[in-house]
Chains A and B, each alone.
Chain A
Amino acid sequence: MSPVVITVLVLLGVVLLLALWLMGVYNKLVVARNRFENAFAQIDVQLKRRYDLIPNLLETVKGYMGYERATLEAVIQARNTAMAAEQKAAARPSDPAAMRELNQAEAQLGGVLGRLFALSEAYPDLKANQNMLALQEELASTENKIGFARQAFNDAAMHYNNQREVFPAVTVAGMFGFTEASLLETAPAERAAPRVSFQ
């Protein structure tokens, strides 16, 4: 048997291994990326739900807290900014810039909402209002769901980042434009979200 044939066969094996490996890595990255992008949909639904609740909240609060006009307007402003950021992020969950914007807008919204609730403490009538109680409970439950979904999203994004950073994959990731995913931070207001007790 000629040495040419042997060289060719060895070459064949190497090429095959390389090709299969490349495909495997590529597919794994595609799956991991789609997984975390899908995980964002779950957050997205809850974020939208919260943005829908806020006008109702303001409607209820307005009658009692007419003097806090500045705060109310700040809430509206922050909600609208956050909504715009959310739409951008939902269109491309793998875009770090959009994600950063959403992080900022959410932090802002959380902050002003927290201030609103802190101020509402001074109005006993408002605190006893059935509507207000229901809204507070709904908001708290939505926050919880956002928190849990965010954790799942971050886990999936982290998994994707880890997969694309390990040595052989990082070359493939560079070649095919698998950019790093950015995580969602916890908004400060969430920690201060009104707790509803069910005792």
Chain B
Amino acid sequence: MATDFFQQQELARRKTAQLVVYFVLAIVILVALVYAVLLGLGVHGGEGPVSWWQPQLLLVVAAGVGLVVGGASAFKVSQLASGGQAVALMLGGAEVPGTTTDAREKRLLNVVEEMALAAGLPVPPVYVLDEPGINAFAAGYASGDAVIGVSRGALAYLTRDELQGVVAHEFSHVLSGDMRINIRLVGLIFGIMVLSIIGRILLHSGGVASGRQDPRARAAMVTLGLAVFVLGLVGAFFGRLIMAAVSRQREVLADASAVQFTRNPDGLAGALKKIGGLTEGSRVHNPQAAEAGHMFFANAFAGPGLAGLLATHPPLIERIRQLDPGFDGRFPEVRPADVEREERAGPRPGSVAPPAGMPRVPGLPQLPLPVLGLADEAASRVGQLDPREMDYARALHDGMPDVLRAAAQEPFSARALVYALLLDPRADLQDLQLVQLKAGAETRDFAESLRLADPVRALPDTHRLPLLDLAMPALRQMSPRQHRPFRDQVEALMLADQRLSLFEYTLRCVLHRHLDAQFLPQRAARPVHDAPEQLAQPVATVLALLAWEGQPEPDAAARAFDAGMRGYTGGGPTHRLPPREACSLAAFDAALQALGQAVPALKRRIVVACTACILANGQVAVREAELLRAICDTLDCPLPPLVVGEAEGRSGVGFPKQEAPLAALLESPGSPPARG
């Protein structure tokens, strides 16, 4: 549990390598066995002595088995890797629209939204499975395209705390990279399973095609079919054993993380107890779920005997005892939870007591101000959650003005909300953008954006990115044909005012990264950089902009830059801060893309370096935090949104809305920066 996000990612990578070894081993054994069977058949049918060494036959067998198992595995992996949404749809999930009027669904959405805000992730789409048991799953390839699914039974029987425990468990899978291993495991087992399917077909056709062929060939076919069938089954059995072992270990970790996130073992324990008390338990009936058993919150298929060995999850009682050592093994009687009584509008009891130092906005709750003291702290916070952040996220969630929250729930308004977020606070620039919007968008979109413009302008800076995170599921409900003009319009709006502000850049990063993943599918970049020197130049480019962003004075900027570089290389100075004119957002963007392909251990260094650079003057402004968020997002390291504040615990002074000097750098890299 002491491992941080980056170590876990590294671990996940190594585990994948381990799986590849198992996989190759499995294929080699299968090839040997099939070869032996064929030799046996040859001995049976041929005359005279047969050589045990027939390279030609071995080659054919190796190619055949390799093709079958490898091809089938690749096929399955490519299918599952096409995104969490495809998996959820395959399981028959129904997406919960943000505008839902069902109180139970609403509660689920609130729980997921709070958790996502706390983790610094865009809110994942939420699916409901029509299953009476209590279960849940997380699917997706990366944290950005993850989805959360919950069974109907879980909605009906669990209280809010229990639901939160279950959702936290699933988020832990999302954050720790478990889903990727899971998908590869499923592929492996499927590949071996295919062998047994083929064996069955051979057996069958051997029995049917009796008339035409000579009996010897028929016998050979039946024998071969039987052998392949048994081999496939045995292989799949061992595959499942591996899967169960890996999966059970991950489940225990996810339970522990869930408790760490919510600091409430009773919620998760309560949910597990209810699974035990319910006759349906955690069963999932959908036949498509058969290969995805380990993706679920609890055992999807119950059964005695052998099933225990193959169970993808540790026994229920064991899991409960982990959380509640005093558990006596008697499961409670389960009744549907009363939802109307629990979920009220407005702040709930036990809401956070707001400390000082937040920008005070009438009508919004005061939010706690976490302090970021050390650069290392930021790195260890990536991909983690603690109750402080949960409280912060809950306050953020509850504090969002109703009109904006409603707009974020629905695709039509969510688009207009993004347009409104892009409007510049300065009147002259805003006019330029409005002209652009009026020309480019439909009348009703324009009207909706105007309606939302005022509430958005009144929003404090800390709430702007979370608002975008909240709007993400609704934006993902667009069709590809609707996404294209939206994307164009966003680009046009950003450029309409002739300057790209920092917030605009951040928004663009988050928006494109997550929406393009869905609408313009591309293969995920593999980590290629693992030597720190390879990336020193891109890191320097990123840090230079960060340094100039935080400090207008050349001396202070140079100090910040050096602090950042030291954080990266750990040694003496290797790069000098380039003059401000030499920094452009375009170069920054390109450098960031290169950094995205670093291995996890290097990413950790990059996050440390950026944070050190920002912290060089002892404080973090909202705009710096936003930029850090964009960097972390591009690196696929979800960063909790809490880095806004002053270091060393000095009292906050509020955050004057400053113009980003960076803006001037984009359009005219050569000209001296104009300070607004």
Are A151 and B42 in contact, CB atoms less than 8 angstroms apart? no
B56 close to A (CB within 8 Å):
yes
What are 23 A-B contacts defined by CB distance under 8 Å? A1-B57, A2-B45, A5-B41, A6-B60, A8-B202, A8-B224, A12-B202, A15-B198, A16-B198, A24-B79, A31-B89, A37-B94, A38-B94, A41-B94, A41-B95, A42-B411, A46-B99, A46-B410, A48-B101, A145-B412, A147-B444, A195-B443, A197-B447
B64:A12 contact, CB within 8 angstroms: yes
Q: Which residue of B lies closest to A10 (CB)?
A: B64
Which A residues are CB-close (under 8 A) to B239? none
Q: Are A39 and B447 in contact (CB under 8 A)?
A: no
Q: Which residues of B contact A49 (CB under 8 A)?
A: 99
Given A1-B42, A12-B198, A145-B410 contact (CB < 8 Å): yes
A154-169 toward B: CB 8 Å interface, digit per residue (1/0)? 0110010000000000
Shortest CB-to-CB span from B197 to chain A, Å, is: 7
**Is there a chain A Cβ closer than 8 Å to B538's Cβ?**
no
* 3 smallest beta-carbon distances between A and B, as pairs: A155-B479, A148-B412, A34-B89
B93 CB–A CB distance under 8 Å = yes
Residues of B within 8 A of A198 (CB): 447, 450-451
Question: Does any Cβ of A come within 8 Å of B9's Cβ?
Answer: no
CB A138 to nearest CB in B, in angstroms, measures 12
Chain B residues within 8 Å of A, Cβ to Cβ: 38, 41-42, 45-46, 54, 56-57, 60, 64, 67-68, 71-72, 75, 79, 86, 89-90, 92-95, 97, 99-101, 194, 197-198, 201-202, 205, 216-217, 220-221, 224, 288, 410-413, 443-444, 447-448, 450-451, 477-482
Q: Are A13 and B64 in contact (CB under 8 A)?
A: yes
Residues in A with CB closer than 8 Å to B75 are 20, 24
Give 1 or 0 for each of A97-138: 1 = CB within 8 Å of chain B CB. 000000000000000000000000000000000000000000
Report the count of interface residues on A (CB-CB < 8 A).
Answer: 44
Closest Cβ–Cβ distance, residue B644 to chain A (whole Å): 33
Q: Which residues of A contact B67 (CB under 8 A)?
A: 13
Q: Is the CB–CB distance between A38 and B89 below 8 Å?
A: yes
* A32: nearest chain-B partner, CB-CB: B89
Question: Contacts of A24 on B, CB cut-off 8 Å?
Answer: 75, 79
Q: If the complex has contacts A1-B60, A20-B72, are A45 and B451 also in contact, measured as CB distance less than 8 A?
A: no
**Contact between chains at A45 and B46 (CB < 8 Å):** no
A88 at the interface (CB under 8 A from B): no
User: Considering only CB atoms, which chain A residue lies closest to B224 in the complex?
Assistant: A8
Q: Which of A149, A156, A196 contacts B447 (CB 8 A)?
A: A196
Within 8 A of B (CB), among A1-41: 1-2, 4-6, 8-9, 11-13, 15-16, 19-20, 24, 27, 30-31, 34-35, 37-39, 41
Tell me the smallest distance from the CB of B54 to a CB of chain A, in Å.
Answer: 7
Min CB distance, B200 to chain A, in Å? 11
Given contacts A8-B224, A24-B79, 15 further A-B contacts (CB under 8 A): A1-B42, A1-B56, A5-B220, A9-B60, A16-B72, A20-B194, A27-B90, A38-B94, A42-B477, A45-B100, A145-B412, A152-B482, A155-B482, A159-B479, A197-B447
Question: Complex: how many Å from CA A8 to CA B205?
Answer: 11
Contact bitstring A44-88, B, C-beta under 8 A = 1, else 0: 011011000000000000000000000000000000000000000
Q: For the complex, what is the distance from the CA of A151 to the CA of B444, rounded to whole Å?
A: 15
Q: Contacts of A41 on B, CB cut-off 8 Å?
A: 94-95, 97
Docked Cα-Cα span, A48 to B60, in Å, equals 63
| B314 → A minimal CB distance (Å) | 31
Residue of B nearest to A153 (CB): B479
The answer to whether B89 and A2 touch across the interface, beta carbons within 8 angstroms, is no
Question: For the complex, would chain A's binding face be called helix, strand, loop or mixed by DSSP majority?
Answer: helix
**How far, in angstroms, from A152 to B60 measured CA to CA in the complex?**
50
A41 to B474, CA, bound (A): 12
Contact B68 A16 (CB under 8 A): yes
Task: Write the nearest CB–CB distance from B417 to chain A, whole angstroms.
Answer: 13
B96 CB → nearest A CB, Å: 8
Is residue A144 within 8 Å, beta carbon to beta carbon, of the partner chain? yes
Whether A141 is near chain B, meaning CB under 8 Å from some CB there, is yes
Q: Can you name the residue of chain B whose Cβ is closest to the Cβ of A33?
A: B89
A residues engaging B (CB < 8 A)? 1-2, 4-6, 8-9, 11-13, 15-16, 19-20, 24, 27, 30-31, 34-35, 37-39, 41-42, 45-46, 48-49, 141, 144-145, 147-149, 151-152, 155-156, 159, 195-198
Return the contact of A155 from the options B79, B447, B481 (Cβ within 8 A).
B481
Q: Which residues from chain B contact A156 at a C-beta distance below 8 Å?
A: 479
Which of A6, A15, A19, A144 meets B444, CB within 8 Å?
A: A144
Q: A55 to B577: give the CA distance in the assembly, Å.
A: 67
- A15 & B201 in contact (Cβ 8 Å cutoff): yes
Q: Once bound together, how far apart are the Cα atoms of A195 and B100, in whole Å?
A: 26
- A141 x B448 contact (CB < 8 A): yes
Which residue on B lies nearest to A35, using beta carbons?
Answer: B89
Interface pair B42/A148, CB less than 8 Å apart = no
Q: Are B479 and A151 in contact (CB under 8 A)?
A: yes
Q: Which of A30, A148, A155 contacts B90 (CB 8 A)?
A: A30
B477 to chain A, nearest CB (A): 6
**List of B residues within 8 angstroms of A31 by Cβ:** 86, 89-90
Which chain B residues lie closer than 8 Å to A45 at the CB level?
A: 97, 99-101
Known: A4-B217, A19-B197. A27 touches B97 (CB 8 A): no
Contact between chains at B45 and A152 (CB < 8 Å): no
A12 to B101, alpha carbons, bound, how many Å? 53
Is B482 within 8 A of A151, CB to CB? Answer: yes
Cross-chain contact A2 with B46 (CB below 8 angstroms): yes
> Which residue of A5, A37, A148 contacts B38 across the interface (Cβ within 8 Å)?
A5
* Closest beta carbon of chain A to B487's beta carbon, Å: 15
Cross-chain contact A152 with B477 (CB below 8 angstroms): yes
A151 to B484, CA, bound (A): 14
**Known contacts A8-B220, A148-B412, A198-B447; A30 and B479 CB within 8 A of each other:** no
**In-complex Cβ contact of A30 among B89, B97, B444 (8 A):** B89
Determine how close the nearest CB of chain B comes to the CB of A178; give it in whole angstroms: 14
User: Hey, which chain A residues are within 8 Å of B451, CB to CB?
Assistant: 198
CA distance A115 to B578 in the complex (A): 69
Q: Is the CB of A149 within 8 A of B411?
A: yes
Q: How far is the CA of A13 from the CA of B72 in the complex (A)?
A: 11
In the bound complex, CA of A156 to CA of B60 (Å): 45
Which of the residues A4, A34, A38, A196 comes within 8 Å of B220, measured between beta carbons? A4
Residues of B within 8 Å of A2, CB to CB, are 42, 45-46, 220
* Chain B contacts for A11, CB-based, 8 A: 202, 205
In the complex, chain B residues whose CB is within 8 Å of the CB of A8: 202, 220-221, 224
Q: Is the CB of A39 within 8 A of B64?
A: no
* Bound-state Cα–Cα, A2 to B100, Å: 65
Minimum C-beta distance from B55 to chain A (A): 11
Measured in the bound complex, the distance between the Cα atoms of B509 and A58 in whole Å is 47
Cα–Cα, bound, A27→B76 (Å): 11
Nearest residue, chain A, Cβ from B87 = A31
A41 to B, closest residue via Cβ? B97
Contacts of B54 on A, CB cut-off 8 Å?
1
- Whether B448 pairs with A144 at a CB distance below 8 angstroms is yes
